[in-house]
Amino acid sequence: MSEASASGTIAFERSHDIVIDAPAAVVFDYVTNPQSWPEWIAVSHRVESADRPLGRGETFSEQWFSRQEVRLDWIVLEADWPQRWVAETHADFLGPIVVRYDFEPLPGGGSRFRRTVRNPARPKAPTPAMVDRIDAEAETALGNIKARVEQGYATRTAARCDAIGAAMADIHGLVGGDAPDRSVLSKVRDRLVALAMRADLFPRGDLPPPFPDEGKRSILYRLAEDDDHGFALYANASLGGYGTPAHNHTTWAVIAGVHGNELNRFYDRSADGGVAQRGELEVVAGRGVAFMPDDLHSIHIDAPLLNFHLYGLGLEQLHRREYYDPDSRQWSVFPAHSDIRDARAGRA
Ligand SMILES: [Fe+2]
Query: What is the domain-level CATH number for residue 95?
Result: 3.30.530.20
Mean pLDDT, residues 93-109 taken together: 93
Q: Are 161 and 56 in contact (CB under 8 A)?
A: no
Q: How far apart are CA 260 and CA 301, in angstroms?
A: 9
Distance in Å, CA 57 to ligand 1 centroid: 39
- What percent of the chain is predicted at pLDDT more than 70? 97
Taking CA atoms, 185 is separated from 138, 171, 173, 306, 335, in Å, by 53, 9, 12, 21, 26
Q: How far apart are CA 44 and CA 37, in angstroms?
A: 6
More confident residue, 320 or 35: 35
Do 147 and 207 sit in the same domain of this protein?
no
Distance in Å, CA 248 to ligand 1 centroid: 6
Instruction: Specify which residues 88 forms β-bridges with.
Output: 75, 98
Q: What is the pLDDT of residue 228?
A: 95
Beta-carbon contacts of 324 under 8 Å, excluding residues fewer than 6 positions away, are 245, 246, 247, 267, 274, 275, 296, 330, 331
Indicate whether 163 belongs to any domain: no
Do 9 and 70 sit in the same domain of this protein?
yes
- 23-61 pLDDT, tens per residue? 999 999 999 999 999 999 999 999 999 999 999 999 999
Instruction: Specify which residues 89 forms β-bridges with.
Output: 97
Distance in Å, CA 249 to ligand 1 centroid: 6
Q: How far apart are CA 198 and CA 257, in angstroms?
A: 11
Q: How far apart are CA 129 and CA 118, in angstroms?
A: 18
Q: How far apart are CA 99 and CA 101, in angstroms?
A: 7
| pLDDT of 4 over the 80 cut | no
Distance in Å, CA 210 to ligand 1 centroid: 20
Do 189 and 75 sit in the same domain of this protein?
no
> Residue 219 burial by CB count (10 A; 0-12/13-18/19+): exposed, middle or buried?
buried
Distance in Å, CA 298 to ligand 1 centroid: 7
Q: What is the pLDDT of residue 267?
A: 97
Do 191 and 146 sit in the same domain of this protein?
no
Please state, rounded to an integer, the average pLDDT across all residues of the chain: 93
Do 132 and 237 sit in the same domain of this protein?
no
Other CB atoms closer than 10 Å to residue 162's CB: what's the count? 12
Distance in Å, CA 176 to ligand 1 centroid: 23
- 173-225 pLDDT, tens per residue? 999 988 999 999 999 999 999 999 999 999 999 999 988 778 888 999 999 99
- 149-167 pLDDT, tens per residue? 999 999 999 999 999 999 9
Q: How many distinct structural domains can be found in the chain?
A: 2
Do 138 and 205 sit in the same domain of this protein?
no
Mean pLDDT, residues 84-105 taken together: 95
Domain of residue 68: give its range: 2-151
Indicate whether 72 belongs to any domain: yes
Q: What is the pLDDT of residue 319?
A: 85
Beta-carbon contacts of 201 under 8 Å, excluding residues fewer than 6 positions away, are 156, 159, 160, 163
Q: What is the pLDDT of residue 212?
A: 76
Do 134 and 260 sit in the same domain of this protein?
no
Indicate whether 160 belongs to any domain: no
Q: Are 131 and 200 in contact (CB under 8 A)?
A: no
Domain finish residue from 91, 118, 151: 151
Indicate whether 162 belongs to any domain: no
Distance in Å, CA 295 to ligand 1 centroid: 9
Distance in Å, CA 297 to ligand 1 centroid: 6
Q: Are 223 and 206 in contact (CB under 8 A)?
A: no
Mean pLDDT, residues 224-251 taken together: 95
Distance in Å, CA 333 to ligand 1 centroid: 13
Do 228 and 134 sit in the same domain of this protein?
no
Do 7 and 64 sit in the same domain of this protein?
yes
Distance in Å, CA 247 to ligand 1 centroid: 6
Do 40 and 120 sit in the same domain of this protein?
yes
pLDDT band at 1 (very low <50, low <70, confident <90, very high): low
Indicate whether 336 belongs to any domain: yes
Distance in Å, CA 255 to ligand 1 centroid: 9
Indicate whether 77 belongs to any domain: yes
Indicate whether 165 belongs to any domain: no
Mean pLDDT, residues 241-256 taken together: 95
CATH number at residue 287: 2.60.120.10
Indicate whether 158 belongs to any domain: no
What single string gives the DSSP state of each residue in 115-163? EEEEEEEESSPPPHHHHHHHHHHHHHHHHHHHHHHHHHHHHHHHHHHHH
Do 329 and 221 sit in the same domain of this protein?
yes
| pLDDT of 348 over the 50 cut | no
Domain finish residue from 151, 185, 201: 151
Distance in Å, CA 171 to ligand 1 centroid: 19
Do 37 and 95 sit in the same domain of this protein?
yes
